[in-house]
Amino acid sequence: MNSKSVETGKKIFRFVSSVVLVAVLAALFAVMWYLRLQMLMPTRFLGLGNYLMIGLYTVLTILMINTFKGFNIGSGRISILTMSQAIAMGLVNILEFIIVILMTRIKVLMWITLAYIVVLTVAQAFAVLAITFISTKLYRAVFPPFSILNIYGEYENNLVVKMNRRGDKYNITGEMSCKEPLDKITKELENYDAVLINDVPAETRNDIIKACFATDKRVYFTPKISDILIKGSEEVNLFDTPLYLCKNVGMDGISSAIKRMGDILISGIGIILSSPIMLVTAILIHKYDGGPVFYKQTRCTIGGKEYQIMKFRSMITDAEKDGKARLASENDDRITPIGHFIRATRIDELPQFFNILKGEMSVVGPRPERPEIIAEYVKDVPEFAFRTHVKAGLTGYAQVYGKYNTTSYDKLKLDMIYCEKCSVLLDIQLILMTLRVIFTKDATEGVEEGAVNANVRK
């Protein structure tokens, strides 16, 4: 089977799987609607009204699952996919609960409605687990992983190790230096389904990509910072010569104002809702060793401006008594027992809602770094300073798609993708995706012992 047929087959399989998933979820809602929720209405709907409610629920389901990338059958891990779908359905059912309450207008029915919605959510959780598990297993059986040739440059990284952990998707069976002649590389490509261009100089990479295009070979490649900047460009169709424009200005004034209003609203609600958790956490931290509850540290935001970030203290009071800045490592003995818990659950980040309310940072943006660590990074990667072109954030692209121990160079790439694509809609998507990250254990992994600027390079 050729590459085009495989791609067509994958798209059809994902489409059918997605249709089945949505149909089952909508059917479960329809059963609950007809048998229970409709009974709560002061006046029962006619046939058209019932179809409208089920149709609305279906549309919300599609939009929410798509936002959480829950339709990527075969691409993501089963655990991540089911978690994404379950969170999406939880949010859809919360919206449905609000709609039903507003329609009934009888407060005494609130708890009955909530009970029905909880039962519906549990049933749907089992459904998405079963459908996703079966669909993914079938997908992997029908579409085995591509055989991939790794073409490497002079720098070493752990990308091949990461890809080999996903044996269901990638099968790197050969490798070759980018310094080999292009005709030899092109000849070798005939033995593989795809190629990984792994940290190869731009000129050589471009030649290999052209060779792959000519032979219909799939290409994976690690982008340069300039690639990410170019990706955010716009076409200028004023002449008969192709022209691209990189504006490099971030959000416009109107979007920035909407973003700021959203920051104030979200941080205010966050402070109110999390105040009981913050109060209990403060008591436990102080009771453990009698030290300060909060930990303030100088960080950099937009334009390199410094401010004092506020977090719950998760380490011993003299964690950096030697005056040297260093990131937390795996099994770091400076972290207290309470600190391990609040770091794993992200509770230590809650006081940053006050920084957001004050306008020092945003809900979404690159994570703020310490000035001294930025100074270390820019020695090897001057472009690391580009992250401060937008306001620092509580969550962001690197937090959703990376890990705590992601190398600084890869974090920079992720943050630069946000800087180029930043918009109000993207912010909303990243905020929702953060809900999934909270439940992902490996997102909080520490860096290797003593690492500060590991794997940074141009």
Residue with tokens 């092109």: 186
| Contact criterion met (CB below 8 Å) for 152 and 198 | yes
pLDDT tens-place values along the chain, 458 residues long: 567 788 899 999 999 999 999 999 999 999 999 998 988 887 777 778 899 999 999 999 999 999 999 999 988 889 899 999 999 999 999 999 999 888 876 666 788 899 999 999 999 999 999 999 999 999 999 999 989 999 999 887 889 999 998 888 999 999 999 999 999 999 999 999 999 999 999 999 999 999 999 988 999 999 999 999 998 889 999 999 999 999 888 888 899 999 999 999 999 999 999 999 999 999 999 999 989 999 999 999 999 999 999 999 999 887 666 656 666 665 677 889 999 999 888 899 999 999 999 999 999 999 999 999 899 888 888 888 899 999 999 999 998 998 767 888 898 999 999 999 899 999 999 999 998 887 765 544 444 444 444 443 43
DSSP β-bridge partners for residue 447: 329
The two beta strands, 306-312 and 294-300, are antiparallel
Sheet holding 170-177: strands in order across? 170-177, 146-152, 194-198, 218-221
| Strand ranges (E), 133-188 | 146-152, 170-177
Q: What's the N-to-C CA distance of the chain in angstroms?
A: 39
Q: Which of 78, 83, 84 is nearest to 64 (CA)?
A: 84
Q: CA 133, CA 125: separation in Å to the nearest integer?
A: 12
| Contact criterion met (CB below 8 Å) for 29 and 120 | yes
Which are the contacts of 76, defined by CB distance < 8 A and separation ≥ 6?
69, 84
| Contact criterion met (CB below 8 Å) for 32 and 38 | no
Q: CA 319, CA 343: separation in Å to the nearest integer?
A: 15
Query: What single-letter DSSP state applies at residue 449?
Result: T
Task: Give the length of the chain.
Answer: 458
Q: Which of 70, 91, 72 is nearest to 10 (CA)?
A: 72
Query: What single-letter DSSP state applies at residue 386?
Result: G
- Single pTM value for the model: 0.85
